[in-house]
Structure 1
């Protein structure tokens, strides 16, 4: 019977578990990127089904997540872009609304004149 080497067996199991963990993390990050979600320790932990301690304790994984998180922080979110567009365009929007109000007031005035004329025609017929 061959000798059982417990140490090599444990090293093999450990390396398999490590590879499986890396695979889960890589897939989770890819899913987060594809769905345009934020990448941070919480989101990767939830998506991969691993503890945050695992992510923090592994230095290269920790560095990767921090790098991705910093890259995303530099890119403005759609809400920020929309807010900036609104602030930049608010003067144009205000001017457009003022023109619309002026046109509506003029139209309202014309309709009131037509109603007066119509009432006068109706009164003459009576």
Structure 2
């Protein structure tokens, strides 16, 4: 037992725990990215099973989460993209609907004329 050095054992244990924590965070972030969920301290803490304090206190993890959170805020969400597309395509949609209305009105007018002719034929037969 003379070879037992408490400081070295504590350093090794600390290094091992730090590696396990880093691995949990990496896997949690990968799952969040695959699920297209927002990356923030709450979501990473919930997904990894670690406390938020652990995430905030570890400088490397904190910087990574803040960077990813900032990157996600820069990318437009699908609803924002859809809204922009709707605004850009609004005039084209309106023009298309106007053409459809005009075509249906003409068709309706033709059908009314045919109905008048058919009523006239029926009236002549009576």
* TM-score, normalisation: structure 2: 0.89
Q: CA RMSD in A?
A: 1.5
Q: Which residue in 1 is equivalent to 2:49?
A: 49
Distance 2:76 2:17 in 1: 37
Superposition deviation, residue 47 in structure 1: 1.4
* Stretch moving more, 18-27 or 3-12: 3-12
Distance 1:10 1:125 in 2: 110
* Match of residue 71 from structure 1: 71
Distance in 2 (alpha carbons) for counterparts of 1:48 and 1:121: 81
Q: Counterpart of 1:80?
A: 80
With normalisation by structure 1, the TM-score equals: 0.89
Gaps of 5+ in 2: none
Q: 1:5, CA displacement in angstroms?
A: 4.0
Report the count of equivalent residues: 125
Q: Which region of structure 1 is more displaced relative to structure 2, 48-57 or 60-69? A: 48-57
* Structure 1: runs of 5 or more not aligned: none
Once the two structures are superposed, the pairs formed by residues 1-126 of structure 1 within 5 Å of their partners are: 2-3=1-2, 4-126=4-126
